[in-house]
Amino acid sequence: MRVSGRRPGRPTMPFRAGLTACGLLLATACAGAGAAGGGSGQVVTVAVVSNPQMTDIKTLTPEFERAHPGVRVKYVSLPENEARDKITQSVATHSGVFDVVMISNYETPIWARNGWLTDLQSRAASTPGYDPGDILPNISKSLQYRGHLYSVPFYGEGSFLMYRKDIFAAHHLTMPAHPTWGQVAALAHKLNDPAHDRAGICLRGKPGWGEVLAPLDTVVNTFGGRWFDPSWNATLNSPEVNQAVSFYTNLVRTAGEPGAATSGFTECLTDYSEGNAAMMYDSTVAASTLEDPTSSKVVGKTGYVAAPVQRTKHSGWLYTWSLGIPKTTTNKAAAWAYTQWATSKQYIKLVGDKLGWARLPPGSRTSTYQLPQYKKAAGAFAGPTLDAISHADQSHPSVKPVPYTGIQFVDIPEFVDLGTRTSQQFSAAIAGQKTVTEALAQSQAYAATVAETYRTAGKG
């Protein structure tokens, strides 16, 4: 092999390059260190999901730090799926990386049973002015294990149908107060107008059990489908489930938003608030953003009605993003100080004062709905939100009985995995990569494996 014609005595150029690279990196290091800036005392590390309400709390956290000198708060905020992975990973391995974690009514009872969470009942009851009795009853119940609160709600949500009153009026259409899915589909097809960038209805299609599965599960429930029968047989191959999933997939493919298979809550919210959808079936918290002039082009144009039904009297999910303190947290006092501040009545008023009354974290406390300013700002959707939350029944989600609790989820540890995998299948069906039958056959196989362990373990 040939020796290249390099002159050995000239290392200057590469050296200079190397030095430049090092210099650049160290320069950023210094700049960063400056930005990171001192600050002593305790640090409470909080893992949250990046929703608009969480952006607000980040903005307001200096208020907390002023009231609690010596405590500093650091946030890790990630999109929902990523946050869930990361939080579960850290709590399940007792890593102690986070002092406060944002979880939901799915994780709370399971993790409390596993002994991973700090019992918050006595702290909540003994903190002056915290008033745990003020938490909406249905929400509070969903965060309890053996009658004790193991996490406290930051905000709560049900689901309802949002529609553009102006578009409906222009087309001489009316929205029933308690629509059925059949009616909604007919309306969506009439209003779908892709040439003018307007979808008939925006529905989630993004994989993740907290994304596409949430609305889809409520459709499955109200069509009479369920995940498992009372003796733990997987029932995703039933005609009811097939009918429901086919309906949902067809609707979103023929009258839904473009890019449905990658649209989740955030994307649908953007589409609808940009005026690119005539209807949206989604979380009740969407309303806070839609009625906020800084983030929405459709303020005051939206009507709110109950979640569409088919065979059940009510549909719609129950969900709450709540704050819990892992067992591994060393400084529980500081962690609780933050947790109670973020979920207190005072925080809710603070958001109103500083950021606007329509932006309150909704659906967590009864008192929120008695604030005159909130009644005025949220008049259009406060009532429907409370209705949606109070009508959700986690124990009897479907027409027929089920061995689990949960509406848009099944409250077993395996559901994170099962839900994620099935949601990928449904998302693929929405993307047109698979037929609904194929997606359901694969999902049934996943569910059957999970069901097996419950049958053999004799649990239920």
Euclidean distance between CA atoms 74 and 45, whole angstroms = 5
Residue 53 is a binding residue for another protein (CB under 8 A): no
Chain centroid to Cα 26, Å, comes to 39
| Nearest CB to another protein, comparing residues 69 and 115 | 115
Residue 110 is a binding residue for another protein (CB under 8 A): yes
Residue 117 is a binding residue for another protein (CB under 8 A): no
Residue 434 is a binding residue for another protein (CB under 8 A): yes
Segment contacting another protein (CB under 8 A): 22-30, 169-177, 220-228, 358-366? 22-30
Segment contacting another protein (CB under 8 A): 147-155, 220-228, 247-255, 433-441? 433-441
Euclidean distance between CA atoms 291 and 356, whole angstroms = 11
| Nearest CB to another protein, comparing residues 46 and 386 | 46
* Sheet with 279-283, side-by-side order of all strands: 279-283, 159-164, 302-306
Give the β-pairing of 42-49 and 71-78: parallel
Euclidean distance between CA atoms 391 and 204, whole angstroms = 22
* From candidates 60, 65, 68, 79, binder to another protein by CB under 8 A: 79
Residue 128 is a binding residue for another protein (CB under 8 A): no
Mapped onto helix, strand or coil, the DSSP state of residue 327 is: coil
Residue 239 is a binding residue for another protein (CB under 8 A): no
* From candidates 42, 63, 65, 86, binder to another protein by CB under 8 A: 86
Contact partners, residue 369, CB within 8 Å, separation at least 6: 375, 382, 386
Applying the rule CB under 8 A, the residues between 251 and 310 that interact with another protein are 258-262, 266-267, 270
Residue 372 is a binding residue for another protein (CB under 8 A): no
**What would the 3-class secondary structure string for 196-233 be?**
HCEECCECCCCCCCCCCHHHHHHHHHHCCCCCECCCCC
Cβ 207 to another protein shortest distance, Å: 5
* From candidates 31, 67, 125, 170, binder to another protein by CB under 8 A: 31
Segment contacting another protein (CB under 8 A): 93-101, 139-147, 215-223, 373-381? 93-101
* From candidates 39, 67, 70, 92, binder to another protein by CB under 8 A: 92
Decide: residue 2, CB within 10 A, 0-12 exposed, 13-18 middle, 19+ buried. exposed
Cβ 56 to another protein shortest distance, Å: 11
Mapped onto helix, strand or coil, the DSSP state of residue 260 is: helix
